[in-house]
A and B are shown apart, each in its own frame.
Chain A
Amino acid sequence: MTSPTTPPAIELVGIDKRFGAVHANKSIDLSIARGTIHGIVGENGAGKSTLMSILYGFYQADAGEIRVGGAPVAITDSQAAIRAGIGMVHQHFMLVENFTVLENVMLGAEGGVLLRRGTAAARAELKRIEREYGLDIDPDAVVEELPVGLQQRVEILKALYRGAEILILDEPTGVLTPAEADHLFKILGQLRAQGKTIVLITHKLREILAVTDNVSVMRRGEMVATRKTAETSAEELAELMVGRRVLLHVEKGPAHPGPVVLSVEKLTVRDARGVTMVDGVSFDVRAGEIVGIAGVAGNGQSELLEAIAGIRRPSAGTIRVNGEALGADGRLDPARVRASGLAHVPEDRHHMGLVLSFEENENAILGYQTDPKYLKGPLLDIDAIRADARAKIERYDIRPPDCRLRTANFSGGNQQKIVLSREIERDPAVLLVGQPTRGVDIGAIEFIHKRLVALRDAGKAILLVSVELDEIRSLADRILVMFAGRIVGTPPADADEQEIGLMMAGIEAREAAE
């Protein structure tokens, strides 16, 4: 695959890794040519991050060999990876937030026992790197005060400062706006021009096609194919990722919207620091339609969802269900919101939707523990709770069908079904759904999508939030695009991806500002 004269920057031979019963990497072979951008794609849980963590010394492979520049190296820890010239930009930044940029860059490479001399040297070196790659940043800025895009730049600087020749980026655009992402890709292009090798891990095919030279596809722990980017297509990669032709379109008939059920008016939400996350948002959701909210993660969708669900207190605005304002008496909490006919499938089921240490049947009443049908006075009606759980397990084909099993022992798809069954079976007037298929296997995705469409056809109002544009486009009857806490566009359901993408980047808002 590479020319015989220059050895590849990285070669992986037969890398194998298990976590208990999970076979995360199955005898992976991979060769990455020097001076290229190499993409690795795959679904969530395909084993990409594990593989890169092995390369960066976070985990040890159970078997296999890593060669850097043709020579085998033992990467026993991150220090060894750094010595071998490998740098990594993690999905969740590994920065000390109350440190300055300079302190973060120096950490682990201080250049001596005392900081004083090292600091001066680091400052100079940072200047040089800045000039060479056009990565300007104030070295004395405190990291937590920097925008996300710049924090990521600090991560890149950290790697370059340590002399990285090979740079691994793990899902780098998940938190970036398209504009910031474009800027990142420009930087990656410059790095390649300087002879660096870049490994880009993502599940977004558009990015792969836009910036990489070669692309490898992982599926269920295996490396299934490597292609030259110029010679492949989104369709082929998608098929390789999931192992069969993807249903990009959900089977559904036209919507028959009825009266407005959920009405949000001038809703404003601030986070704990007082930063406005949702900024005067207004929209309606009618009975029998799915309204999809598209947007890059972190543009206020989560806060919007949580405010409607009563988890976050809005600082202004009204939310109405069937014409009745929620929390009109100044008290808005999830229990009252539920009582008014609203159900909520939260974005993060591990942290919010489920208590993983509980038995399945205990999670099947989470949020509805005050429902008299589960109670005998102040006591729980254990028999009723378990019977109810068993019925849902059967209807939603939750496996294994054991309502007394600890919830942590179910797979991601089955956990999501536990949440969905709990919320849908309440027969709510409004269903809020956040990231319904994140970390869920393909089979369960189809099941979940069908359920949502069926609920819509039963005349319910559904508000869907997803960062997967494809999911929004295939499920939603109407689309709202959120950027920086505002709804910046309402493209028709058949609008093309480019158009929505521009809105997600807040292009209009940006141009107006400049």
Chain B
Amino acid sequence: MSAPFGQLPRWVDYGLLPFINLVVAFLVSGLVVLFIGASPLEAINYMVTGALGSGEGLGFTLYYATSFIFTGLSVAVAFHCGLFNIGGEGQVYVGGLGVALVALALDRIMPWYVTAPLAAAAGFAFGAAWALVPAWLQAKRGSHIVITTIMFNFIAASLMVYLLVNVMKQPGSMSPQTRLFESGALLPRLGFLFSPLGLDLGTAPLNVSFFLALASGFLVWVLVWRTRFGYEIRTIGANPTAAAYAGIRYGRTVVITMLISGGLAGLMALNVLLGDHGKLQIEFPSGAGFVGIAVALMGRSHPVGIVLAAILFGILYQGGAELAFWVPNITREMIVLIQGLVILFAGALEYMFRPALVRLFAPRGAAVLRPA
């Protein structure tokens, strides 16, 4: 029948509840810090100053956030269609192949503003292609997309190791990576934007793909809430039977949605490869595909929420690195733990505090008409 829970005011549902979940995740993280004999307050201090206290820290924070916006949007678009794309990691990885191929081909003959759009297109296309088979299997054969995308993450890892070790490795080099890209494939950094503010980004790799990420967020919002196709995506996600009744083609919609989702993940490679690493190396996504899950859950699959959540995770990643550097008992894995706790409380336990809030807001919130 109708929702098993009472109605809540929108600001509670989309603001207060996620906030409470987040606070609880951080409280539990604080307890862990306490348990291993460090001071949570000191830890927060290191994290915040590390992430936001200097121009360089801020630059790194936003650089990480850029990656997470892409992967968060990727997960969110699929969520709206009722699909759990757990394969962002593999799609980023293969997207990186597309980016690298364009970069290797053009970096010596073209300026960056020619190379970058083509590399972005290739990253999107390769990421999308990696999502195609799971999407098609879900659409046509009903194979559970969670399992197939997990499998494709591992297949991507094997494929990329093979390519990097046997095909793309620079001759004479020991490590499995391509040659370094030259200036025609390196994205401009954004230091010039921050220097008037008196902030020096230093070595921070924040680059123009940050704007591409924000633009992608806007486009995803338009796509999901303002286009006919977005309406069809949301209908399938909320009620596939009604979607069939409405003449919305399930297979086509699922496949296109997953292509967009995979493509957004693939775009992340642009930020990392052309903005920072300047080469394609093994395991470059280093978990960002999975961070996208946490970001999408925390951001409630809305681009504004995703950008905010991505910045928060940027702070965690940058601040966490600082923290691990200064506090001997804490390692970088602290971030992974916090990530897990955020996924747990903002995702799996998202409704734990809802009944209490419903009771709290019942007089005003739940008085909406109900069938007698």
Contact = CB atoms under 8 A, between A and B. Distances in A.
Interface of A: 20-23, 45, 220, 309-311, 333-338, 344, 346, 350-358, 362, 365-367, 369-370, 375, 378-380, 382, 399-400, 405-406, 408-412
Given A375-B228, A380-B230, 17 more contacts: A22-B371, A220-B372, A351-B241, A352-B244, A352-B245, A354-B239, A356-B238, A357-B239, A366-B235, A378-B227, A379-B226, A379-B227, A380-B231, A399-B369, A400-B369, A409-B370, A410-B371
B370 A20 contact: yes
A276 to B, nearest CB: 21
A409 B242 contact: no
Residue of B227, B234, B246 most packed against chain A (CB within 10 A): B246
Report the contact-size class of chain B (Cβ under 8 Å from the partner).
Answer: 20 to 34
B30 interface: no
Contacts of B249: 333
Interface stretch (B2-10, B108-116, B121-129, B342-350): B2-10
11 contacts: A338-B247, A351-B241, A351-B242, A358-B235, A366-B235, A370-B247, A378-B229, A379-B227, A379-B228, A380-B227, A409-B2
Contacts of A337: 247
Question: Mostly helix, strand, loop or mixed at chain A's interface?
Answer: loop
A21 B370 contact: yes
A412 to B, nearest CB: 6
Contacts of B232: 369
A37 B231 CA distance: 52
Interface string B44-83: 0000000000000000000000000000000000000000
Nearest to A356: B2
Nearest to B228: A369
A369 B246 contact: yes
B246 A20 contact: no
Contacts of A354: 239, 242
Contacts of A21: 366, 370
A425 B24 CA distance: 50
B31 interface: no
Interface of B: 1-3, 6-7, 222, 226-232, 234-235, 238-239, 241-242, 244-249, 366, 368-372
Contact of A408 (B2, B228, B230, B241): B2
Contact of B242 (A20, A45, A355, A411): A355
Given A357-B238, A409-B2, A367 B369 contact: no
A366 B242 CA distance: 8
Contacts of B248: 369
Nearest to A23: B372
A381 to B, nearest CB: 10
Nearest to B3: A408
B245 A411 contact: no
